[in-house]
Amino acid sequence: MLSAAKTKNISIVLYKPKYAGNVGSIARAAKNMGINNVTVVGNADFDREEMQQRSTHLAADVLDSIQYLVSLEEALGGFNYVVGTTARLGKARGPFIAPRAAARDIADISQKNKVALLFGPEDTGLANEELRLCHAVVTIPTSREFTSLNLSHAVMILCYEIFIASSAATTSAAATPKLALSSELEGMYGQIKTLLADIEFLNPENPDYWMMHLRRFFARSGLLSREVKIIRGICRQLEWSVHHKKP
């Protein structure tokens, strides 16, 4: 059972893109697939004429509405579900899902949640630090001889799969409930990390190793806001107990 994606709840987030032409091409690709929301993080100095040449006048409204922000945490804070993209594999970066499977999840989750499709710079892609903010990581299958995709092509492929998943929808099945915001989750992760450091559970030389596994666990769980509040309340009580325990 699959519901059509609510594209008004889906945004493309570009982290530190380098070329105005790519931003313009992405605006065009997004509008082709019914997505009108684009956010650019970390770079606002783009030539408008070059962007408009690549987007064409029909996507000028998407260019006009682009939101430019400084930090990735700020850009993602208002989203309930973040899908990262990468061509570079590795245990610390996955687990990975294909665009088609991701599209089905996105179509469902977008019914009641804000979804961000996160893409990294053209030359390096997303680093581990950015991928840790994601609920899911998509990798696009390519020939082993040439794995690099143009940024706008990668955006088009994922948006196309969402469009096709929506076109194939035949029902308005019960959707995933509204999830906790990224900003709420990051607050919870920070509190858990502090608590685990206080009880010396985390290796001080590599504290993010176990945190990565906890992030993956909670991402699979799909936490709601009230559940995040419960976990944070438990952490606060444990913190109090740690610092006020009797000698």
Whether residue 138 contacts residue 35, with contact meaning beta carbons closer than 8 Å, is answered with no
Distance between alpha carbon 34 and the CA centroid of its chain, in Å?
A: 19
Would you write out the chain's pLDDT as a tens digit for each of its 247 residues?
456 778 999 999 999 999 999 999 999 999 999 999 999 998 878 998 998 989 888 888 999 999 999 999 999 999 999 999 987 776 666 678 899 999 999 999 999 999 999 999 988 888 988 999 999 999 988 888 877 789 999 999 999 999 998 876 655 556 788 999 999 999 999 999 999 988 888 887 788 878 888 898 898 888 999 999 999 999 999 988 887 765 5
pTM of the complete model: 0.86
What are the domain boundaries of the chain?
7-167, 182-244
Count of positions (residues) in the chain: 247
Domains 7-167 and 182-244 share a fold: no
d(CA 44, CA 92): 30
- Whether domain 182-244 has CATH 1.20.59.10: the reply is no
Kindly indicate whether the domain formed by 7-167 is annotated with CATH number 1.10.3210.10: no
Residue 117, strand partner residues: 12, 83
Give every CB contact of residue 64 below 8 A, 6+ residues apart in sequence: none
Quote the CA–CA distance of 200 and 174 in Å, as a whole number.
43
Taking the alpha carbons of 58, 63, 65, 66 in that order, is the dihedral positive or negative?
positive
What values do phi and psi take at 42, rounded to 5? 85, 0
